[in-house]
Structure 1
């Protein structure tokens, strides 16, 4: 309930304020487990991916945010779950896999942190872990823009990746992450102008 309300409120503010244009939303499967993987340029990225997707999305959020009682409850209400950054957080990995096993959608930022320059960075292997260890479809996404009021922001979703080939070839999490980031780069190159 809170998720739908928050999504509605953010959408009516963000769509006109950042002139959001959505491309390829139909590439997101309507059912079954999905991992949406996007570049990361701002704290606004999770809500923007959330309002432009046709699925409810669970995102990881910094563990420290959940220590603030009100904020922690709000984050749980909008389907976020904590991750301890800089560590191999087994609880976060289990939570992410459980979301996918239940047929839901997990939103991940392969770079792990925001890009200060807007340039695409190197991916961490966590996103590859989730892609290889689940039966989820991976949908690449790119956000282009600076979140300046009334300047255009483009959110483009690419076609689902064939992860089965990587699973069958026993690809490493690092290789899988690189392949996902390459798809995000391709989307960026197509839509950057």
Structure 2
């Protein structure tokens, strides 16, 4: 018997609304691993990025969300029902890091926007070390994703998934989290460059 969750319902509804409004085109879904832990890393250009990445992913995605969204009992329950979990912004949140590692090791999909905040000019910014930390500390597949806007009604919005990034060499040489993040951001940048009109 299939269990209908809040995430499943929300994904269906949001997909029905956003897909025609923004003429969402999805490319590269064949690169998305069907099983095992996946660290999904995307650029961040709009507040709608999390739901757009969520509805185009082939598997449920667990996103880190700012702690403020969990302040009340009602919003906290809602966010957790949408597979989000809290993270303190602007500091190292060990509990969030442990939670992310646990999800990846359990074979789930962890979604991150390595820039940490929306780009004000639409250009890809510098990634924070958290993405590299997760990539190096687990054997999860690291999948780059490019959201290519703009978010304008009637204009085509592209979501492009790239092939998993080979992190084995960086893991063997015990590279820094910053170096691993830079590798991830470069992969996202290449997707944006290749698929921008």
Question: What range describes the TM-score normalised by the shorter chain of this pair?
Answer: over 0.9
Aligned to 2:34: 30
| SS of structure 2 residue aligned to 1:143 | strand
Q: 1:113 aligns with which of 117, 120, 126?
A: 117
| SS of structure 1 residue aligned to 2:154 | coil
Give TM-score, length-normalised by structure 1: 0.99
| SS of structure 2 residue aligned to 1:150 | coil
Distance of 1:68 and 1:144 partners within structure 2: 33
Consecutive unaligned residues in structure 2, runs of 5 or more: none
Q: How many residues align?
A: 193
Q: State the shift of 1:149 in Å.
A: 1.2
| SS of structure 2 residue aligned to 1:26 | helix
Distance of 2:117 and 2:72 partners within structure 1: 21
Distance of 1:26 and 1:46 partners within structure 2: 20
Alignment of 1:44-83 (within 5 A): 44-83=48-87
Distance of 1:37 and 1:107 partners within structure 2: 6
Distance of 1:162 and 1:56 partners within structure 2: 23
- The runs of at least 4 consecutive aligned structure 1 residues that moved more than 3 Å come to none
Alignment of 1:142-161 (within 5 A): 142-161=146-165
Q: 2:131 aligns with which of 120, 127, 140?
A: 127
Distance of 2:107 and 2:23 partners within structure 1: 32
Give TM-score, length-normalised by structure 2: 0.97
Instruction: Tell me if 1:138 matches 2:131.
Output: no
Consecutive unaligned residues in structure 1, runs of 5 or more: none
* Segment drifting more, 22-31 vs 61-70: 61-70
Distance of 1:68 and 1:155 partners within structure 2: 32
